[in-house]
Amino acid sequence: MAMDLTSLMDRHGSGPVLAAGGAVIGLLFGFFAQRSRFCLRAAVIEFWHGKFAEKLSVWLLAFASAVVAVQALILLGALDVSGARQLANRGSLSGALVGGLLFGAGMIMTRGCASRLLVLSANGNLRALLSGLVFAVTAQATLAGRLAPLRAGISAWWTIDGGAARHLLERVGGGAADGLVLGLLWLVVAVIFSLRSGNRPWMWIGGVGTGLAVAAAWWFSHQVARSSFDPVQIQGLTFSGPSAEWLMRVLTSPAPAIGFDAGMLPGVFVGSALGAWVGREFKIEGFKNGYSMARYIAGAMLMGFGSMLAGGCAVGAGMTGGAIFALTAWLALAGMWAGGGLMERWLAEPVHTTQPATQRAPVVVPVAP
């Protein structure tokens, strides 16, 4: 594999090779995420309503599969993530917590996290398409625009050194073997929930496939970094930084250098479109009214700012960073679950169900708009 990559990079350069690999891995992620309905927002809603059903089980299958695969690769010596920015660089605990809370609230308002918006956009959902564009603009403004000083200020509240201090397992004296055991335990829980929920085959296949795509991104970028004579940053799947990068690629000249992210986002879009074609699920959808449109835009802005503050989105921090046990990623993920639950409760409205005349009181059921 290393010899093949070396020859490809000698011929085409490391950037195009990374982009091609990103496109393939993105296509797989998009296809499996579409077929399995992988969605952190849906899992959060089920969890906070005390329902351990199919949506939560799919997310757990994906998360556990990513953790197991990544930690197994590390144990086998096929992956070294010590140079990943989530571990090597100085991190912000305050940014992870606050950003996670904001992102979690935003994904409830837009009815999907950043990756889910891209997946739905490829299925004809115009609400998701507009929300994704607002997300990208806000992410870029937070990275290097008007919102950058606010991001930097919040991030400076509580910071942590890179290296072992930022590795959750190493902080408690553990290692990859312990991470693998934890991943296997979560996988067992995911299987139990999936069996109890009667998940359809695509939910099983798609959930595991989504998690393996996350692991594949780590492994591929590591292999390229090992084989390249040029410095290559090892990275995984994420959607906040790449969305901002693609925005600048379209709007500015010269465009950012080509790399993994340049191929990954289009790959996810194509993979999701392919999944919609297989399931005959392509359908043009729009906003119902002005209120819902305003809510989607506000939610996308919260996600764009929150993801850059937290160091990643539901996939970038929650799955990619979580799979390597980055402390800030786990804090961000916890914030997303908490922020999502709080926003879900706040948006829920009591709806009186139709009742026969013999009933003595109306039944109130909370639902999200």
State how far the Cα of 312 lies from the Cα of 60, in Å rounded to an integer. Answer: 19
Helix (H, G, I), strand (E, B) or coil at 366: strand
State how far the Cα of 188 lies from the Cα of 61, in Å rounded to an integer. Answer: 9
Decide if pLDDT at 197 tops 60.
yes
Domain boundaries, the chain: 20-346
Q: Is the dihedral of CA 17, 34, 114, 318 positive or negative?
A: negative
- Number of Cβ atoms within 10 Å of the Cβ of 282: 13
Decide if pLDDT at 123 tops 60.
yes
* % of the chain at pLDDT higher than 70: 93
- Give mean pLDDT, residues 213-239: 92
pLDDT band at 366 (very low <50, low <70, confident <90, very high): very low
- Number of Cβ atoms within 10 Å of the Cβ of 38: 30
- Give mean pLDDT, residues 162-182: 92
Alpha helices by DSSP H, listed for the chain, are 2-12, 14-36, 40-48, 54-75, 85-88, 93-109, 114-121, 126-144, 148-155, 168-171, 176-197, 201-227, 240-251, 260-279, 290-310, 322-323, 327-347
pTM metric for this prediction: 0.91
- For position 362, what pLDDT does the model report? 47
- For position 9, what pLDDT does the model report? 75
List pLDDT tens digits, range 22-79: 999 999 999 999 999 999 999 999 999 988 889 999 999 999 999 999 999 999 999 9
- For the chain, the straight-line distance linking the first and the last C-alpha, in angstroms and rounded, comes to 50
- Give mean pLDDT, residues 354-359: 42
pLDDT band at 365 (very low <50, low <70, confident <90, very high): very low
State how far the Cα of 70 lies from the Cα of 73, in Å rounded to an integer. Answer: 5
State how far the Cα of 182 lies from the Cα of 67, in Å rounded to an integer. Answer: 8
- For position 317, what pLDDT does the model report? 93
- For position 319, what pLDDT does the model report? 96
- For position 279, what pLDDT does the model report? 92
